[in-house]
Structure 1
């Protein structure tokens, strides 16, 4: 059996995906104690480390074949800006060097590295890529909408496949039928409130009215952002990108509510048995940072088939 490590493991999206693809994850690490706590609860057979991976002792890791990593994306994504003079963003982007350090030390056969597509626009990306190539890896970037992998969510992400092959390994990824948002929404759960309640913002009322005209009584609507913001979104298509804070509201006639934590996890394709905090905001934060397990599974399956 292929054995893997998961760096920046978070809630465990890549770990779950790898496990579902028949890969044994033997080690997982993250700098955030709360994430390590819940990853440990869901994947107790892996060795866990809570540390800044830029200061890791790679020799302490168990033997493995495959590296999985989802370095911080906040410094790259357009959602929060990429100001060149923002030290926090510089610090976030630098986490990608942990992959190079680990690859130099442990010499994995292959890597699956997830990030936002803007990762390749990073000023230091050419140096990062050259470092991986100097270690013997060929890089094949795959920019994928996770909805095309069967995730009920439009989530465009970069999956960098690094292999010790003669040429970059470009995966053959089947395009799966899109799964609608209604597949994970439970209209009998959640904290509903009246759309016309006192204090409701006029902009929200307008969005609801626009959505009703286009989709009828039931639809999705973002509370902030662009794209579907003015007209809402049909339940018959995947939801938009799940983020680290409440964004998507469900409208049902004269009532509305935000997605529940369980719905957010389902939109990310975490199993219903996933252990999570009782705290809604904490769960949404961790889920929004995660790689959808189904996307991870299908990427890793394709890698196994191509290797």
Structure 2
């Protein structure tokens, strides 16, 4: 397998991982023009299409050996699922059927599908699996903490290995030493603010107090989620999301992670081109597949196939 396509390509986590694994991504698609622009900036040798993949004409897609896909996860996520009453998420769950459509036409030997673990709880997941099986694909589910693959972030994710094989292909994934958050945090950054300043929320001060008691003067803390007392910088950071989540505390000063630190936490190379807009970069980074995780999963697939 030497060629691939990337569905729902976003900023290009799968594509970057594929390139690091020696796989050439021929074609990439996303419905968001901004994402397509930045993916093209980082992957100029790839053909790009800005399109809702429900309407894709697969005859226009080049023949390939491997399909890479990250269907929209918001509709499956506990944080932003259908219980929140957003009909957009009902539509987002249906994006997984684009994978079936693409495979039905091209029949590459393998596909790798990434999503949140709750994808397995989707009411139509059994039907989706049945459709994949009807095309001849055997499915092997892998629930992976990306930190075990060397990403400096605890990020549990589902990777489904789909192969035209007689039996599901279970990958022998490496499990490497965890990389700490301290590896990408720049303490020399000048954009700090005093912890004790007018308007600082009492709850924030309480989290800082608890974090300092547990980890000393330097630690990271989450502004939402289950982390209430901070997190040791000598372990991977928690999950990077599509909006600012993590703050760095250093003595009597603090700041949010920079856009570049968010990208590094996701294991994007330092040369990755990204928007000047902080919020946009954070969104794209948090929505991506960590490239290093993608690389190691693709390498394991190539070794096993």
Cα distance, 1:11 vs structure 2:
0.1
Give the whole-Å Cα distance in 2 for the aligned partners of 1:94 and 1:281: 27
Native 8 Å contact 1:190 1:260 kept in 2 = no
- Secondary structure at the residue paired with 1:251? strand
2:273 to 275, 278, 281: 275
Name the structure 1 match of 2:138.
138
Alignment match of 2:248 (pick from 243, 250, 254)? 250
Residues 190 and 257 of structure 1 are in contact (CA less than 8 Å); yes or no, is this contact kept in structure 2? no
| Alpha-carbon distance in 2 for matches of 1:250, 1:22 | 35
Q: Tell me which residue corresponds to 1:78.
A: 78
Give 1:166's aligned residue: 166
Q: Distance in 1 between matches of 2:30 and 2:88?
A: 18
Who is 1:241 aligned against? Answer: 239
Counterpart of 1:302 in structure 2 is 300
C-alpha distance in structure 1 between counterparts of 2:297 and 2:26, whole Å: 19
SS in 2 for 1:83: helix
Alpha-carbon distance in structure 2 between the residues aligned to 1:244 and 1:87: 19
The alpha-carbon deviation at position 298 of structure 1 amounts to 0.3
TM-score by length of 1: 0.98
Count of residue correspondences: 305
What is the CA distance between 1:174 and its match in structure 2? 1.6
Q: Distance in 1 between matches of 2:155 and 2:190?
A: 24
Structure 1 segments unaligned to the other structure (5+ residues):
none
- Show the 5 A alignment for 1:65-214: 65-83=65-83, 86-189=86-189, 191-214=191-214
1:12-40 superposed Cα distances (whole Å, 9 cap, x missing partner): 00000011001000000000000000000
Unaligned runs of 5+ in 2: none
Q: CA deviation at 1:82?
A: 3.0
Runs of 4+ in 1 over 6 A off after TM superposition: none
1:32 paired with 2:62, answer no
- For residues 55 and 256 of structure 1, the distance between their equivalents in structure 2, rounded to whole angstroms, comes to 46
Distance (whole Å) between structure 2 residues aligned to residue 2 and residue 297 of structure 1: 13
Q: Check 1:23–1:190 CA distance in 2 against 1; reply closer, same or farther (3 A cut).
A: farther
For residues 113 and 267 of structure 2, the distance between their equivalents in structure 1, rounded to whole angstroms, comes to 19
Shift of 1:5: 0.1
